[in-house]
Structure 1
């Protein structure tokens, strides 16, 4: 590849590849957009922290100049709190994030719904439903979809009261709005014995909005920041990708890797390895 050309011709395989900015955390937003473009990657999923201090219009210009698309703004949600005023404040925050997503040209806002230790999960899922219902009108008016992302059960106490696709689907069905769907992250759902049937169900409802990929290192040294490159762990990514595609998903394959090890390394080499491992999975 020509390292001096920021606008590589994107191959058909890479045209559906997006990388989350958290994956290459040491880079600034502008560096990430430039380097993704140089590798022929088609999309950049933007973490809110990556554009802290950058006006959305400026961030949009950076993306456009790099020739990239924005599958998602990450992360909204966090609806759970014992105090009503706190929950109201989080609604306001999500409404602002939706405006940012629209200005970025993001297809969706990914929702990590949050959790409050010591409160019944069903109660918290009620808060999540209420919160989503309050932000749905603005999401619809701005043409930004909302994607509930189930998180692995190890996060049930303090990060997410939704841990399986089942719970995400049930909220989607209760609200029944085409703006609301699910982001399927293999890191969080690969273990679920009901995975195949749940993917089939949400696919039939046209609710698969996002597909996130990385791998589960064995042994895992840190439950948050030790994800592996595709093919370096125990997740059968190829089979899960086949499931979502058979269920009708034809959107972005988004690489999302939290890794202290990889963040300490050469980010350009890491990005090249991401592209190589993606093409093999």
Structure 2
């Protein structure tokens, strides 16, 4: 195990600007970065991508697209337009992939939301293909099924990706959202070549906040190393992306946090 496949999401070091993050990641010999769209606000995206590459960073993906379901047709159109904008941003940045947090709408069934997700991805897939941008459907833990995602198991994500039968549509495996699933190993094996992304962190015991209390690998109960073996068994050889939302870690020294991330990655992933 070495650092050559370690990637950190900009949201993981949220207090840092993207310029600061690039310098800090590079200083710690972290080679991959996934950029969250909020980090690009007010910036020349093409110039930002050039800056990241000059710091020696490989841009792994742009996060996030999705949020397709809405109660109104106008809301669904706005969501598609925003995803088309995300494709343009990914091209300008030099990111080869967009992670889709698919969304759900309060006031309608999950089944209706899932159909709207299918329709949304179908609407943007031709544009993603033309731009050379892959779309990774990320299933979220069932506790987020109310408004964040109606796609809650890897089986559902696999079903949807397989239905598109497009090399531009695949799935993202995030251990935080999927570690609990008794069918996880078989569904990871099922992914095959449409496994596009692998996100890691840990589930704190007890979890103090369902969104903002993720832990470093080794601090919780997720068998990250075991899941990584299953993922790599599919032939996946991409980056291992550290994605941590944590008010605790955001409140501290971010350079020290990156050093802790490296240690956790090397010893508990």
Moved over 2 A (4+): none
Q: What's the counterpart of residue 61 of structure 1? A: 50
- Number of residue-to-residue matches in the alignment: 268
The C-alpha deviation readout for 1:41-85, integer Å capped at 9, x for no partner, is: 111100001111111112112212211111110010000101011
Q: What's the counterpart of residue 41 of structure 2? A: 52
Q: What's the counterpart of residue 25 of structure 1? A: 14
Q: Any gaps of 5 or more consecutive residues in structure 1?
A: 1-11
Q: CA RMSD in A?
A: 0.8
Q: What's the counterpart of residue 216 of structure 1? A: 203
**What is the SS of the residue equivalent to 2:187?**
helix
CA distance in 1, matches of 2:162, 2:196: 15
Q: What's the counterpart of residue 175 of structure 1? A: 164
Confirm whether residue 249 of structure 1 aligns to residue 236 of structure 2: yes
**What is the SS of the residue equivalent to 1:258?**
coil
The C-alpha deviation readout for 1:230-255, integer Å capped at 9, x for no partner, is: 00000000000000001111101000
Q: How does 1:32-51 map to 2 (within 5 A)?
A: 32-51=21-40
Name the TM-score, length of structure 2 as normaliser. 0.98
Aligned match for 1:166, one of 144, 155, 158:
155
CA distance in 2, matches of 1:181, 1:173: 8
Confirm whether residue 233 of structure 1 aligns to residue 220 of structure 2: yes
CA distance in 1, matches of 2:234, 2:47: 37
**What is the SS of the residue equivalent to 1:225?**
coil
CA distance in 1, matches of 2:256, 2:57: 20
Q: Is the Cα contact below 8 Å between 2:8 and 2:243 reproduced in 1?
A: yes
Q: Any gaps of 5 or more consecutive residues in structure 2?
A: none
Q: What's the counterpart of residue 90 of structure 1? A: 79
**What is the SS of the residue equivalent to 2:163?**
helix
Cα drift, residue 118 of structure 1 = 2.8
Name the TM-score, length of structure 1 as normaliser. 0.94
**What is the SS of the residue equivalent to 2:189?**
helix
CA distance in 2, matches of 1:107, 1:71: 7
Cα drift, residue 14 of structure 1 = 1.3
